[in-house]
Structure 1
Amino acid sequence: MSDETDTTTSRKDATTSGEADNRTPSTSTTNAIDHQPAARPQPWRYELRAIGIWWKLQPNWFVATVLDALCKAAAPYATIWFSAQLINELAGRRDPNVLRSWVILILATTVVLALASAACHHWKQAEDAMSEVNGKLPVADKLMDLDFPIADDQRTYDTVSSIRQNDNFTGRGLTESMLILNDALPAVFQIAGGVALSASLFTSPVPADGGWLTLLNSPWCAVLMVAVLLGDIALSSACYEYGDHFWVNFAEAGRFGNRVFSFFGALFANDKRAMDCRMYGQFERVAIPFWRANNSFDAHSPAMRGVLWPLTLWKSLSVAISTMLIGFVYAFVCLKAWGGAFGVGSVTQYVGAITTTFTGLSALLRSIGRVRNNAPFLKTVFDFLDTPNTMYQGSLTTEKRADRQYDVEFRDVSFRYPNAPAGQWALRHVNLKFKVGSRLAVVGENGSGKTTFIKLLCRLYDPTEGEILLNGIDIRKYRYDEYLRIFSVVFQDFRLLALPLGQNVACAARYDRELAADCLVKADFGDRLASMPQGLDTSLYKELDQHGVQVSGGEAQKIAIARALYRDAPFIILDEPTAALDPIAEAQIYAKFDEIAGDKTAVYISHRLSSCKFCDDIAVFDHGSIVQYGTHQQLVNEPAGKYHQLWHAQAQYYTTSN
């Protein structure tokens, strides 16, 4: 089982649809990631942009989070305030009716808040569960929307891998921005409630007979108290932020360690590696030693020691400073109560309110620090999301011809992969014209340029030199999405999804069931389909359905061919999808496919010459160039030709005739 996705995406036209476009298309395929302007991280701009992304992805999460935060903040303050009133009554008049009223009110409020809190919390948990998947969509969508040359570049892979590792290891990036808001909202409500309940602490005067404690009535005393509170909170939060910053420094080592763990940790459970692991003892003899030597999460590893000791020191200091503040609050409140400013019940209210306010302020300041520490990770994400596409997007529509009369011509086409060394050409001066409705075989040794030829034909890449014409017009002038739709390709490394068979064939959740079944029958999968327990609704593989069925390599190839037929494109291409089979089995599949291709133009790519004898023409590739072109009989009868050499080199291993 593997995880194929459809790379066909809708693009915006360079010009108005249907308008003639005579501009010369650019052949640039430079990876635009390299041209991102160097800029320092801008924490708040990044955080707001990340929140905007989350709002588009999951607006209900914000509603659930706000309500959950309100309930979390309201419950303790309700308890503090009601408890203070009850204690004041017990310490004062002790009126049974008043006490009974307070008790009933406390119980009713507690029940209502508990129910509301539980409901909001469960709603938020459901939204949190969805965010794990939703958070991966922006990067995934961008990756699928990127021009293929950029998406196929190693630097893009490294960038995406870095983003995923950051998210998997510490949640830094988009996930952290959501978590910051998740922690900041309750803190804001805590502060608001705490200020409301503790404001009277500073306005309740100590009576004149309070002696020296009347000094606490001075406005400067209140200012000093607030200054100490804020200073203590700022210092505590700064220590916490500084300690947390060591995780940022550990990110690179952590990403590698997480990558090692992800690979080797699941090695024993990988069914495709199980036999090798068992036969050669790879897990205990190779994987475990490598993991131990590269375990950056080990407390004794140099990387982790560089984090744990300073992190523990600074965060412990943060806690110590916080504790000092609580003692200062108790002293101030108790002194005012001793002086007679308020009753003993209010002591509970003020101490609880100020302590909770302090907790909220600390959490808010820590969230601010996390915004700053998360900025470098968000910058990596946004640099990737802002990567511009560079391939020219045409505006002409491809003709929807009932007769499928499409002519394709390669005119002096040369191609060098981006970042390839100078002079290293994948294709060089290729000239080729398809005969409509014909069968073309593209053969050659591995690395001769066959697959590159298909990538250019499908416009996954643009030529470095020369041009490719569709009905006499440069293919770069056609709408990209429409041009892709005239091709059905079965790639060498095709993939099927662990989803129902019919959806694999149609590449859609809703599809024409009769057409899907007919395509499977044409692909010689009819008998297997009839034996499946749920027909087209039978799941492939067992990753998502314990009743899913395993299909063999040959059966998977037939499903892939049925998928190509379902698309019903005028061009069908088989790019060595049967490379794992023996030549006789490959030839049988190709011959069968030739029968069902009908009036479509078919291109067969193989390094086995015997599989393509039936084709009308054969193009022989060697070191990126077409060195021979003709029918099988013509080419095999040229003793000095490459085809003759390959044919006889392969034929000696099989009993066959030419």
Structure 2
Amino acid sequence: MSDTNTETNAENDGLLQAWRYQLRACGLWWRMRPQWFVATVLDALLQAAVPYATIWFSAQLINELAGRRDPAALKSWVILILATAVVLTLAAAACHHWKAAADDTIELDRMTVVSDKLMDLDFPVEDDPRTFDTVSNIEQNENFTGKGLPSTQTILEQSLPAVFQIIGGIALSVSLFTSTVSADAGWLAILNSPWFALAMVAVLVGDIMLSTACYVHGDHYWVDYAEYGRFGNRIFRFFGMLFANDKRAMDCRVYGQFERVAIPFFRANNMFDLHSPALRRIFGPMSRWIALSVAVNTMLIGIVYVFVCLKAWGGAFGIGSVTQYVGAITTMFTGLSALLERIGDMRNNVPFLKSVFDFLDTPNTMYQGSLTTEKRADREYDVEFRDVSFRYPNAPADAWALRHVNLRFRIGSRLAIVGENGSGKTTFIKLLCRLYDPTEGQILLNGIDIRKYRYDEYMHIFAVVFQDFRLLALPIGQNVAASAHYDRARVTDCLEKADFGDRLATLPRGLDTSLYRELDKNGVQISGGEAQKIAIARALYRDAPFIILDEPTAALDPIAEAQIYAKFNEIAGDKTAVYISHRLSSCRFCDDIAVFDHGSIVQFGTHDELVADAAGKYHALWHAQAQYYAK
């Protein structure tokens, strides 16, 4: 008995959770697009009203034809039917058009729900591989099964017409159970018994419940298949477009990777193939349960016809009312069946919505600060690392990325950060820009812990060109300004300073020329060096007091990298500039050089001072690399 109660409680809890999630999703749609919500409700109302109006008016017309056959009454009914049909049809068409237009806008809004949250997260959370996996799973679920947020829209859109169908059906079919057969109808008089009417309702409801249970059980197989589907979708997205990936084209051509590796792997792991064990194990039973649901639902129509015809045979109502009652009851129970199925969909959607809402509920823990960052015309911002240590989240206790770092920037100076790969150079920049907070120690801006400054204002004192910078497939001007609206003269000036002026002059559309061809067939393909110049122009356009180059030229040879750094040094002006490189020749011109090794600053000084220290790390690195840049 206790096991039964436990199962019942779990079922009720699951239904309550499903309702809570569905209502929360509806709240999202209402806040984002209330006009879509209104259009959906009106569209559903008219969807239900049109067939019921047809049913009721048709019944009255048939009753008149089978009864008095009064020409004036027939004329009135015909005019009323036509007028009502025209008004309702036009209203339904207009509302459906409105709903279709609103659907396009809500689709875009739905896609931004997760992306907006992702951009709002603290960077350490966003940078966590588990976050990437969560977002990827949400996307895969939506694309493969439509489960998650898309399903809540479908449930709402299909539930509302069902509710209106039930209400209309009840209104038009109540008289079926209250009308009585004539006294001389013989054994048909049993139809007048209220117990018979209750039994009939019970049979119809039981039929619907059984049909719905079969449907929900079949639909639940999507939950079991979700993990297979996500994996299959990832494989399809990667291997399905491998041949069109220009970054992999040369490897695929030279090594035959597409035919020899990609195709065999894809065929062996294609979860969507009809012979896939997972697909056969899931879709076979699913199809049988869904088919059984349809078969049981079809029995409902037969039961309704028998009951209505028997009452008509007994003289309870005319032939026209047969049309009304059959149409009303079948439509009503179709709505009830649809509503129960949507409730089942809500329950099956719980695991998918849970992952969405758990992600949306991810808290931000980084303190955003409240102090206003001082806007100094002289750009004299004093930044100091004071005994800073950092360990990435979820890293082992002894896995320090930085350890006891002490460094103070000289205002307006050129600082080079050098060291081998993995020595902590990029982590140092992440802390400087407050993408992460130190695990230990402090970073000070003008003597105040940077955590006390407003987060958004503090970040604006830095312009960074990261080693894996990205440009968008949008016009050059928008790429440089990082905005759809910008100062064209200022953008042009930044591009010229970044040595992109000659290339810009060759472009027929100038700043309006799109980069790449993903979105514009007339877009231009640019080289790696040209992309770096545009990225540097973007950093210049921001006009921040600190400007940082984090190995953006790592793919170039040492001489080309040194040329870009030297050019950038000329245009940095009075900004405090930080250059990060694992190649020492590029940073000889800097005022100071900080040498990183295993997360610590092991040397600090000028190039001449460091290279003269034969026992130092810098001396060893310099002579190891000298063969690449010696004249």
TM bin, normalised by shorter chain, reads over 0.9
2:486 is matched with 511
Matches within 5 A, 1:20-59: 42-59=17-34
Q: Deviations over 1:228-251 (max 9, x none)?
A: 111111121111111111111111
Q: Which moved more, 1:297-306 or 1:250-259?
A: 297-306
Distance 1:167 1:652 in 2: 54
Q: Which moved more, 1:279-288 or 1:410-419?
A: 279-288
Aligned-pair CA distance for 1:280: 2.4
Q: Which moved more, 1:102-111 or 1:173-182?
A: 102-111
Matches within 5 A, 1:511-550: 511-550=486-525
Q: Deviations over 1:106-160 (max 9, x none)?
A: 3333333332222222222222223332112221111111111111111111111
Q: Which moved more, 1:40-49 or 1:448-457?
A: 40-49
Q: Secondary structure of the residue that 1:93 maps to in structure 2?
A: coil
2:9 is matched with none
Distance 1:647 1:366 in 2: 72
CA contact (8 A) 2:558 2:628 kept: no
| Letter in structure 1 aligned against 2:323 | T
Structure 2: which 5+ residue stretches go unaligned? 1-12
Aligned-pair CA distance for 1:478: 1.3
Q: 2:466 aligns with which of 469, 491, 496?
A: 491
Aligned-pair CA distance for 1:560: 0.9
Between the two proteins, the alignment pairs up a number of residues equal to 618
Q: 1:385 aligns with which of 357, 360, 366?
A: 360
Aligned-pair CA distance for 1:282: 2.1
Distance 2:53 2:246 in 1: 56
Distance 2:385 2:408 in 1: 6
- RMSD, matched Cα: 1.6
Distance 2:533 2:629 in 1: 24
Q: Deviations over 1:314-352 (max 9, x none)?
A: 222211211111111000000011111111121111111
Distance 2:544 2:158 in 1: 52
| Letter in structure 2 aligned against 1:205 | T
1:17 is matched with none
Matches within 5 A, 1:2-13: none
Q: Secondary structure of the residue that 2:601 maps to in structure 1?
A: strand
Q: 1:566 aligns with which of 541, 554, 560?
A: 541
Q: 1:355 aligns with which of 330, 352, 363?
A: 330
Aligned-pair CA distance for 1:177: 0.9
Distance 2:629 2:373 in 1: 44
| Letter in structure 1 aligned against 2:17 | Q
Matched, 1:406 2:381: yes
Q: Structure 1 residues 102 and 285, CA, compared in 2 at 3 Å: closer, same or farther?
A: farther
Task: Work out the percentage of aligned pairs sharing the same amino acid.
Answer: 78
Matched, 1:618 2:593: yes
Matched, 1:67 2:67: no
Matches within 5 A, 1:89-168: 89-168=64-143
Q: Deviations over 1:161-190 (max 9, x none)?
A: 111111111111111111110110111111
Distance 1:528 1:74 in 2: 64
Aligned-pair CA distance for 1:50: 1.0
1:609 is matched with 584
Q: 1:473 aligns with which of 425, 448, 451?
A: 448
1:226 is matched with 201
Specify which structure has the bigger relative contact order, considering alpha-carbon pairs within 8 angstroms and separated by 6 or more residues: 1
| Letter in structure 1 aligned against 2:372 | T
Q: Which moved more, 1:108-117 or 1:290-299?
A: 108-117
Q: Secondary structure of the residue that 2:602 maps to in structure 1?
A: strand
Q: Secondary structure of the residue that 1:411 maps to in structure 2?
A: strand
1:588 is matched with 563
Q: 1:173 aligns with which of 148, 153, 178?
A: 148
| Letter in structure 1 aligned against 2:507 | M
Distance 2:392 2:466 in 1: 19
Distance 2:423 2:164 in 1: 66
1:346 is matched with 321
Matched, 1:434 2:409: yes
Matches within 5 A, 1:304-383: 304-383=279-358
Structure 1: which 5+ residue stretches go unaligned? 1-38
Aligned-pair CA distance for 1:654: 3.4
CA contact (8 A) 2:585 2:629 kept: no
Matched, 1:277 2:252: yes
Aligned-pair CA distance for 1:276: 2.3
Aligned-pair CA distance for 1:85: 2.1
State the TM-score, normalizing by the size of structure 2: 0.95
Matched, 1:183 2:158: yes
| Letter in structure 2 aligned against 1:82 | F
Aligned-pair CA distance for 1:289: 1.3
Matched, 1:249 2:224: yes
| Letter in structure 2 aligned against 1:68 | D
Q: Deviations over 1:542-579 (max 9, x none)?
A: 22222222222111111111111111110000001111
State the TM-score, normalizing by the size of structure 1: 0.91
Q: 2:268 aligns with which of 277, 293, 313?
A: 293
Structure holding more helix per residue: 2
Aligned-pair CA distance for 1:209: 2.3
